[in-house]
Amino acid sequence: MATHWLERPLRPRERVLAALAGAPIDRPAAVAPTSIATVALMDEVGAAFPAAHRDADLMTRLAETAYTRAGFDTIMPVFSVVQESAALGCAVEWSDQGNWPTCHGYLVRRAADIRIPADLLDRTETRCVLDSLTELKRRYGDEVAIIGKAMGPWTLGYHVFGVQDFLLMSVDEPDEVRRTLQVLKEVTVQFANAQFEAGADALTLPDHATGDLVRAGYYRDFLLEIHAELCDRIRGPLILHICGATEDRMPYLRTAGFAAFHFDSKNDVHRSVELMQGRCRLVGNINNPRTLFRAGPEEVREEVRRCLDAGLTMVGPECALPLACPLENLRAIPETIVAWHREASAGRHPRNGAGGAPPGAVPGR
C-alpha cells in the first residue's frame, strides 16, 4: 500500500483536523491533547500556576507557548483537571507553581445530592476556560488547532465522592455509580459544548477508567454507552484520554465514536494500532516520567520515530507534561516529526511505498 502524503502544505489547524478525521495529511501532526505547561514556560512568559488556572489572560499566555515556543500544531489551555469540579463546589487545593491543583475530601455522599448550579458555565474556573478559548480562537483561529478539555463523568465521580469512596461504591453499589454518571455526564456535555461555541476545534475528554484502577469490564459496563452518548451530543471531534494500561479496553472504546484516543506509553504502539482497527485514531504516546522528564532530546527522538514508524499520525506527550520537563525535550517532538517526514518523503522509510497504514486509508468516525 502506498503512502500518500499531500503535496500541498497544510496549516497546523487543517493538519490536526484532517488527522483527527482520518483524512489525508501533508505530514504527521504534533498534538498535545493535555497540558504542556512547564515551570520554564511559566517563567518565560510571566504566567504561572496557580493564577493561570483562574485568570483568562494568564491562561491564554501560558497556553499559546505550545505553538509559539514548543512548535506544536495545537494549543490547549485547560492545564488542570479540576475546573468544572471547582465550579460544582468541590474543595480544591490550587497549590503552587510546581504542582497541579487537586480536589480533596468529598462534595456529596449520594447521587441524589449532586446539584448542578444554574451558573455552572459562569463560575470563575469555567468562565476562565471559555474566555481563554475565545481569545485563542481570535489570535490563532485560522492557523492553529485550538483544543478544549472537559472531564468525563467517571473522573468527575472521583472528585465529587473522593477517589477511594467512588471506587468502593463501584463494587458495593454499582447502581448508585450508574445514577451518579447519569447526573454528572450533563456537566461534561454543558462544558464541552460551551467550549466548542467559544472556539475550540476539538476537545479532550479525560475519563480515568484506567487499567491501573479498574478492570476492562468496568469500561464496558459503566462507560461505553455513556461515552457513545457524549460523542453524539457534543458538537465536535472528541479525543478520549485515559492514562495507564488500556489495551484491554481498546476493543470497547474504539466503538464509542471518538475521533481519537490519547494513549499512554504503557501500551504497545503496534498492538494499539491493531486493536483500534482504524475505527478511532491514536495520539500520544511519548513517555513522560522516563523520557520527556529525565532523558534527553535523543531519547525523545527515538520514541517519536518509533511511533511514526508504527503509523501514528498524531504524536505528543502521553499525558499532562511533568512541570519540570526541559523545553528542548518537548521541542524535540515537532522537530523529529518534520525530520522524519522529510526522510520518509525521500523514500528512506518503509512507510513510503510499502507497509503501514496510509494516513488517508482509515474510515472517518
* CB 288 to Zn ion: min, Å: 9
* CB 135 to Zn ion: min, Å: 26
* CB 101 to Zn ion: min, Å: 15
Helix (H) or strand (E) holding 273: helix 269-276
* Complete DSSP assignment for 161-198: H-HHHHHHHHHH-HHHHHHHHHHHHHHHHHHHHHHHHH
Q: What values do phi and psi take at 285, rounded to 5?
A: -130, 50
Residue placing its CB nearer to Zn ion in the complex, 18 or 259: 259
For helices 174-198 and 124-140, give the axis angle rounded to 10 degrees.
40
Q: Minimal CA–CA distance to 144: which of 43, 62, 240, 29?
A: 29
* CB 82 to Zn ion: min, Å: 14
- The amino acid sitting at 318 is E
Q: Which residues bind Zn ion (CB under 5 A)?
A: 243, 319
Residue placing its CB nearer to Zn ion in the complex, 65 or 265: 265
What residues does 184 pair with on adjacent strands? none
Residue placing its CB nearer to Zn ion in the complex, 62 or 243: 243
Residue placing its CB nearer to Zn ion in the complex, 10 or 243: 243
Residue placing its CB nearer to Zn ion in the complex, 179 or 266: 266
Q: Minimal CA–CA distance to 282: which of 294, 295, 269, 292?
A: 269
Residue placing its CB nearer to Zn ion in the complex, 90 or 243: 243
* CB 99 to Zn ion: min, Å: 16
From CA 293, how far away is CA 316, in angstroms rounded?
Answer: 14
Helix (H) or strand (E) holding 233: helix 224-233
- The amino acid sitting at 75 is I
The grid coordinates of residue 272 equal: 494499539
* CB 309 to Zn ion: min, Å: 24
Residue placing its CB nearer to Zn ion in the complex, 10 or 321: 321
> In whole angstroms, how large is the CA radius of gyration of the chain?
19
Strands in 34-139 per DSSP E: 74-75, 91-93, 102-104
From CA 251, how far away is CA 319, in angstroms rounded?
Answer: 21
Residue placing its CB nearer to Zn ion in the complex, 18 or 156: 156
